[in-house]
Amino acid sequence: MPTYHEIMTTDLSVLTTAAGKWDDMAGEFHTCEGQYDREVHSITMGQTWMGQSSTAANAMFGVTLNEYKAAQAEAKAMASLLRDAHSQFVDLKGKLKAAKDGAVEAGMLVSDTGRVTFDTARLSESARTAYHHDPDYQQSVRESANSWQQEIDRWVAAVTDADGGVEIALKGVVQDSDALDGTMNGFNAKPLDDIEEYEARNTEEIAERVLSGKATDAEIAEFERSMRDNGGDPDFAQSFLGKLGPEGVVRLSDVMSDREQDGGASGAQYTRLLGGLANTVATATHVPGSMADAAPGSPKFQSWLNSADGAFYREFTTGLKEAGAKNYDSNSNPLYGYRPFVEMMTHADVPFDDQFLNQLGDDMIEAEKKNTTMFAQWGANHTEGRADALDSLLEVMSKNPDAATAFFDPDMDKGQAHLDYLVGKGDGAREWPQTAVPAGPMVVTEDDPLSRHGLGAALEAGAMGQEPGTPLGKPGPHSEGQARVMQGIIAVLDKGDDGDTVPEALKVPLGRVLNDYTMDTHAILGGYAPDSPAGQEDIAGSGDNASITNSKASLLRVMRGVSDGVIGTDAEGDPVRVFDSLYEGQRLYAVDYLDTGQRVPQSSLIENVTDWDIKARDVGEAFGGMNAIATDMVLDVRDAEIGKINDQARYGYHAVGGLANMIPGAGDVAQRAVDAASYEWSKGVMEDAENVARGDVSRETANGIVGTHNLIDAWAETREAGEQSNAVRNAKDEAKQSYMTGREEAYSALRTRK
């Protein structure tokens, strides 16, 4: 294992010097070959020497002549390997030096052994005194030093891994590759001239021994090193997987997953091995361009697939389609290949290619339609990840948001079909697999508690363009593809006016998505979106400035459908629901909308009633819809005291676990106004709920407008406008009228229970 000092001080040029000498040696062997052929081998070829002795001599002389040729091939290959090694080491040494220079620039001292410490000698006397007396300063310095130490150690380890690969190649190139060439351990007539090819061959041989249970600890350690060193190299990845084949990858993933379950040091090692294999598959299946450029099935994609570059991808995906649908166990306890393969994919720390993910998803859906129980869990005998490999694949897809967007984009070849099959209900939609548990002669089925978790993650990534759980920024425009996905999700969920029934696992991720689209949903709820309230079939805008245009009724039903999803608990242990985040997002955006306007330019005159009226109408109508959703929630569970809708938000969303990550960003003015505004709207919600329950709702009963009035007052205060100013009073009056309109439209859309 080379040390930091050895790496930084070794003269790597000796490798190219040695390569030159091996080339010279090949030239000398070539000269010797000519002499031997003319002066020795040729005497058996003429008419002067005939008979059995001539034939025997010819065979032996021929072996020697071939050895001269093999020696040349071996010498040339050795030269090529040494130059390959030189290139690798120079590149890695450069990266190590860059890490060292970065550490020094950051104020660190790097010793000759690679030890990183804070360089106090570079501090001024006053700074040095402050350092010695400030624990926080010392802690930040330690963290910085540790970070740079890890970076330097990472590149030292990379050189060590590369060194191991070079060793394998140099040992392999001198091995006689033909046992029938007349010599024992002679020169290698068919050497490889690429280090990664030797590593791929060696790694595949170890993989076969892992499958047979005969691999030694040293071989498994070498397998891990090889995966770590070469997982990102396309030549190695394709060579290794080409030798192993799709079925070999499935079987290897299965064995590794089983051994991972053993736990302990061995289990942790197999977790790393699965990650290395997954990264290798991701590298090998990379396709040039993107789905937007060349989607599977398109002429451009097909042209690439039929090229030399696409040959491996074509062969591997074709073989995987067969291996994935194959049952590797009994009919009573099946194990289909897609299960261990996708479980292996979940261990990758790099995203998979969007074309590969989309093609794999298509193939798995096609396989499931032919065998509807393929992804059902049969008993508990298999531990290779989830039985529902399709849902697991969707979770993998969520780590590549562009892939998820393309998979569900209705404008793509199969995007609408994917939405209908995976998100839809009824005819043609997926019947999500259940767990089948044998109970004597009977088989009992029960819901899979993880059902649709991957789907929720993929929908969130596809509609938002970022990985699930990423903190939300300011709500704003999305790309055309993302907006089409979101528009499609709402349309499919609300097919048959059934949007208020949303599967449990989709509520939180779709709640986050709806908050990311607050600018669009506020426009739809406020009645100022294109063709509102009926909406449009297509999205509005273009490029990266697109927005959804669903009907107000559909949006309301879907917002209601996700609203009772549970995000976490509050300080008293009561549930925090998606609705709280949706309402908070609307409040924050409403202030920004009042402050900047979306339809009317901001006026410099605080008493310009027209601007305030228009904006306040829109805000009031939006909150009329939001409060109707809250009323509907209370009615659904009023006897069970719904998660404190009337009180819970008063704790402040910053103090509630998980809720902060559900709230879109806002400007300072919006945050100050929202923090100042009270939540009195909740009392109106509860009163409205009781009135609706009694069938006694009139347009004059609108106590829920109090919360909207408070918001307008708080915002006006940030503009130094008093509550009794004409602008504020008129704005609140307009908001009240629009609030009631929005509330009644929402009641109609939600078919509120009476």
As a three-state string, the secondary structure of 349-414 is CCCCCHHHHHHHHHHHHHHHHHCCCCCCEECCCCCCCCCCHHHHHHHHHCCCHHHHHHHHCCCCCC
Structure tokens at 548: 């959804």
Among residues 149, 173, 197, the one where a domain terminates is: 173
- Residue scoring higher pLDDT (597 or 490): 490
Does residue 648 surpass a pLDDT of 50? Answer: no
Does residue 280 surpass a pLDDT of 90? Answer: yes
Does residue 145 surpass a pLDDT of 90? Answer: yes
Q: Domain span at residue 644?
A: 566-750
Mean pLDDT of 212-220: 92
Instruction: Give the gyration radius of the chain's Cα atoms.
Output: 34
Number of domains in the chain: 2
* pTM (whole model) above 0.85: no
Among residues 173, 192, 209, the one where a domain terminates is: 173
Q: What is the per-residue pLDDT for 316?
A: 97
SS3 assignment, position 547: strand
Least confident of 77-91, 134-148, 368-382: 368-382
Residue 305 within a domain: no
In the chain, the largest separation of any two C-alpha atoms, in whole Å, equals: 126
Mean pLDDT of 597-622: 58
DSSP string, 146-205: HHHHHHHHHHHHHHHHHHHHHHHHHHHHTS-S-TTSS-SS---SS----HHHHHHHHHHH
Residue 411 within a domain: no
Q: What is the per-residue pLDDT for 549?
A: 96
Least confident of 40-49, 132-141, 385-394: 40-49
The span from the CA of 81 to the CA of 91, in Å, is 15
Q: What is the per-residue pLDDT for 656?
A: 46
Residue 331 CB neighbour total at 10 angstroms: 7
Residue 74 within a domain: yes
Q: What is the per-residue pLDDT for 700?
A: 46
Instruction: Provide the pLDDT confidence category of residue 690 given band limits of 50, 70 and 90.
Output: low
Q: How does pLDDT run across 551-590, given as a tens digit for each residue?
A: 999 999 999 999 989 888 777 777 788 988 898 889 888 8
State percent of the chain over pLDDT 90.
Answer: 50
Provide CB contacts within 8 A for 116, sequence distance 6+: 103, 108, 109, 110, 145, 146, 148, 149, 152
Does residue 517 surpass a pLDDT of 90? Answer: yes
Instruction: Provide the pLDDT confidence category of residue 438 given band limits of 50, 70 and 90.
Output: low
Please say whether the beta carbons of 346 and 392 come within 8 A: yes
Instruction: Provide the pLDDT confidence category of residue 89 given band limits of 50, 70 and 90.
Output: very high
Instruction: Provide the pLDDT confidence category of residue 606 given band limits of 50, 70 and 90.
Output: very low
The span from the CA of 498 to the CA of 502, in Å, is 9
Instruction: Provide the pLDDT confidence category of residue 503 given band limits of 50, 70 and 90.
Output: very high
Strand-pairing partners, residue 438, are 443
Mean pLDDT of 204-227: 93
Q: How far is CA 190 from CA 22, 70, 169, 250, in A?
A: 16, 7, 14, 31
Among residues 151, 173, 195, the one where a domain terminates is: 173
Q: How does pLDDT run across 9-27, given as a tens digit for each residue?
A: 999 999 999 999 999 998 9
Residue 580 within a domain: yes
Q: What is the per-residue pLDDT for 699?
A: 45
Mean pLDDT of 669-696: 64
Residue 670 within a domain: yes
- Residue scoring higher pLDDT (726 or 69): 69
Does residue 614 surpass a pLDDT of 80? Answer: no
Structure tokens at 507: 């509520």
Average pLDDT of the chain is 85
Does residue 85 surpass a pLDDT of 90? Answer: yes
Q: What is the per-residue pLDDT for 750?
A: 85
β-pairing verdict for 442-446 and 435-439: antiparallel
Residue 686 within a domain: yes
Does residue 432 surpass a pLDDT of 50? Answer: yes
Instruction: Provide the pLDDT confidence category of residue 694 given band limits of 50, 70 and 90.
Output: low
Residue 224 within a domain: no
Please say whether the beta carbons of 310 and 304 come within 8 A: yes
Residue 79 within a domain: yes
